[in-house]
Amino acid sequence: MTFGERATTHIYCVYLNATPEAVWSAIVDPELNGRYGYRVRCAYDLRPDGAFMGFPSDEMRLLGVPNAVADGVVIEVDPPRRFVHTWRMLVSPELASEGFSRVTWEIDGGRFGVTRLTVTHEVDGAPTVARLTSGAMEDEGGGGGWHWVLCGLKTFVETGVTLGADRSCPR
């Protein structure tokens, strides 16, 4: 395994002043997960082989983003500890053609009321998705990738406030 935009596996870790249950809800509840990051509302059928679909924010639709931003299939559900699903980005034919990658969310309720969230994104065979989700395309208008999403998740879960509340995307 290597790190950086060319890596085939990206690993992100963030510590949240919240319970594992609150973090879990913020990830899987579409009423909550559409309130941070890129404001993409994600709906999951929380069972193995269940569908996953990510829907664009109103601001993204105004920019011409299609009706579905991402899709995939749920692989594993172990609330509030572990969630695994496939993930394909649909915002452009180029990104969609790179196919499905795999995202693993691991939630560990540690000491002192602090929860560690580790997100592992396996992006084998998806070089453009890897660059985009690593944040390497931020200066090209691609956004901050998983870093932006996880910082937004942390801010939202800890404070109830949406990071960059006046924008749907960084920049």
Summarised one tens digit per residue, pLDDT across range 62-119 is: 888 889 999 999 999 999 999 999 999 998 999 999 999 999 999 999 778 899 999 9
CA angle 10, 12, 14 (to 5 degrees): 175
CA 99/CA 26 separation, integer angstroms: 26
The average pLDDT across 126-142 equals: 83
Going by C-alpha positions, the residue among 80, 72, 150, 87 that lies closest to residue 122 is 87
Asked, for residue 93, whether it belongs to a domain, the answer is yes
**Confidence (pLDDT) at 54:** 96
Examine residue 84 and state whether it is found in any structural domain, yes or no.
yes
CATH of the domain at 120: 3.30.530.20
Q: Is residue 167 part of a domain?
A: no
Higher pLDDT, 144 or 46: 46
Q: Does 21 reside within a domain?
A: yes
Total-model pTM: 0.89
Question: Residue 19: which domain range?
Answer: 9-29+76-159
Report whether 64 contacts 56 (CB < 8 A).
Answer: no
What is the overall mean pLDDT for the chain? Answer: 89
Q: Which two tokens stand for residue 131?
A: 């660059």
Please give the tally of structural domains in the chain. Answer: 1
| In a domain? residue 115 | yes
Of the candidates 21, 27, 62, the residue with the CA atom closest to the CA atom of residue 44: 27
Q: Is the pLDDT of residue 163 over 90?
A: no
Torsion of CA 94, 98, 100, 105, to 10 degrees: -80
66 belongs to a structural domain = no
Report how far residue 100's alpha carbon sits from residue 102's, in angstroms, rounded to the nearest whole number: 7
Please list the residues that pair with 116 across neighbouring strands.
Answer: 15, 108
In a domain, 63, yes or no: no
- 58 pLDDT exceeds 90? no
Residue 71 placed within a domain = no
Higher pLDDT, 125 or 3: 125
Greater pLDDT, 78 or 144: 78
